């Protein structure tokens, strides 16, 4: 599975001026915990590039402002009105951390150098502030994991045939649907229609479509198996 990267501003493209802007526009970080809500996570998961662009643009637009902090807050609020104030605070604190610990790596090093420095020095504090976790240890953080209590559920996960949306796409696919081998006509119930479908192939000994017993043929064993599940719904 691919790990969805925690959203981090691309400081390597921000450059020296951008980093200085962020350092100037932010106040002393405060201790914050789990400030990003479910709507914030949805925004970060689905619109990460848009968030990144907004932070970048606001930093430069507020460079000559007499009150950079107020300008930056107002700009972000107008650009990303759907992001909560608490979550914005977490990004502010991370920005301060990056400017304090990774200035040279991000301003003069490669993008990989910058990312490595941020991951080592600032990422864990951001995760605490934002409330980002991976409780089920499936390699996907709670930003995009639609069920962080089930390791079989994460974006891109294969279907398990348990009636669960394993891949978090909001749809129960054929692979995710509960297997129902006795429902021969696909109406999600075992009824007279399924009995008639089986009897229409009774005696088949090769390449049988309705071999519910798995013995390679349609015989009395299949009839008994079908009757054993008669009336069930899938």
What's the domain range around 158?
A: 136-178
pLDDT digits (tens, 9 = 90+) for 72-96: 778 878 899 999 998 888 877 777 7
Are 188 and 109 found together in one domain?
no
**CA angle 68–69–72, rounded 5-degree value:** 80
Are 191 and 213 found together in one domain?
yes
Are 227 and 121 found together in one domain?
no
In a domain, 1, yes or no: no
pLDDT digits (tens, 9 = 90+) for 24-73: 434 444 457 899 999 999 999 999 889 888 877 776 777 677 876 677 77
Question: What percent of the chain clears pLDDT 70, i.e. is strictly above it?
Answer: 84
Are 23 and 126 found together in one domain?
yes
- pTM recorded for the entire structure: 0.60
Are 155 and 117 found together in one domain?
no
């Amino acid at each position: 599975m691919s790990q969805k990267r925690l959203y981090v501003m691309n400081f390597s493209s921000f450059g020296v001026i951008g980093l200085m802007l962020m350092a100037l526009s932010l106040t002393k970080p405060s201790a914050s915990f789990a400030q990003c809500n479910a709507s914030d996570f949805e925004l970060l998961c689905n619109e990460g590039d848009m968030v990144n662009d907004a932070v970048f643009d606001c930093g430069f637009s507020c460079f000559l402002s007499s009150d950079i902090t107020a300008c930056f807050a107002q700009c972000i609020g107008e650009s990303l009105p759907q992001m909560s104030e608490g979550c914005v605070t977490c990004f502010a604190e991370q920005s301060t951390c990056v400017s304090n610990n990774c200035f040279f790596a991000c301003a003069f090093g490669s993008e990989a150098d910058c990312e490595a420095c941020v991951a080592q020095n600032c990422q864990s504090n951001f995760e605490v502030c934002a409330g980002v976790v991976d409780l089920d240890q499936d390699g996907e953080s709670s930003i995009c994991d639609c069920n962080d209590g089930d390791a079989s559920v994460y974006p891109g996960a294969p279907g398990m045939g348990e009636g669960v949306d394993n891949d978090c796409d909001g749809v129960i696919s054929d692979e995710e649907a509960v297997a129902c081998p006795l429902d021969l006509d696909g109406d999600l119930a075992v009824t007279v229609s399924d009995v008639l479908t089986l009897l229409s192939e009774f005696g088949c000994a090769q390449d049988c479509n309705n071999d519910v017993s798995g013995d390679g043929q349609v015989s009395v064993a299949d009839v008994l198996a079908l009757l054993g599940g008669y009336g069930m719904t899938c």
